[in-house]
Amino acid sequence: MAGRNAVKTAAQSTKKSTKTGGAKAGIARTSGPRGKRAELAAERAAEILRLLHEQYGDARCALDHNSAWELLVATILSAQCTDVRVNMVTPKLFATYPTPEAMAAAPIEALETLIRTTGFYHNKAKSIQGAGRVIDQHFGGRVPQTMDELLRVPGAARKTANVVLGVAFGKAEGVVVDTHVFRITRRLGLARGETPQKVEQELMQVIPRERWIGFSHELIHHGRAVCEARKPKCSQCMLEPLCTAKDKTWRS
């Protein structure tokens, strides 16, 4: 019985020390093996950022636009469509309906005809017309500059809002997670989330805020040029030594 009581007393003591000594335990963890792994992970992420910026430091948004409004519309149209195709469609679209007010008043059939080749044109026409109406009626004809307000605009989900805020206004409210960013950050082990929303939250923890905007542009360019979905050009990739993806086509 004495032995059992001793074990019970020790367990209670350990449990109590865990509850009351959280701060000390936290300090101990940061200096132990876990802290070392976290430090190495941070160094690895920093090296990935350095190499990306070195290679694609001049990367910019590939969607042609002359205003925040045009960028918003172009980004809505880019869903499930290439930027090249969107850039072929928008000049005539903006020449015909240049303002949110004009877009809101446009016949829906006319919008559908102009954007048909971008795919899903029924829904996209409704979105850009709705965006024009909301911006004209609720924001004085100007694209809002906050995440909460942009999310009230039809067609502007979080990715679209991040693009507009980052590119048009230089505001880093989040990380743009398109198909390239989603694929490559998971390949590199920077994120593990199964949805763009979860990946964005993970990236916001490991990427410095001042790099959120540029990081997305650089990674998108890298995805188009090198880290393709089906056959990544690993032998040409400056990030290959830092990549542990299972679908690598070449290993150094």
Q: Is 178 a catalytic residue?
A: yes
Active site residue: 24, 178, 233, 248, which one? 178
Active site residue: 58, 136, 159, 247, which one? 159
Q: Is 124 a catalytic residue?
A: no
State the SS3 of the chain.
Answer: CHHHHHHHHHHHHHHHHHHHCHHHHHHHHHHCHHHHHHHHHHHHHHHHHHHHHHHHCCCCCCCCCCCHHHHHHHHHHCCCCCHHHHHHHHHHHHHHCCCHHHHHHCCHHHHHHHHHHHCCHHHHHHHHHHHHHHHHHHCCCCCCCCHHHHCCCCCCCHHHHHHHHHHHHCCCCCCCCCHHHHHHHHHHCCCCCCCHHHHHHHHHHHCCHHHHHHHHHHHHHHHHHCCCCCCCCHHHCCCHHHCCCCCCCCCC
Indicate which residues carry an active-site annotation. 159, 178
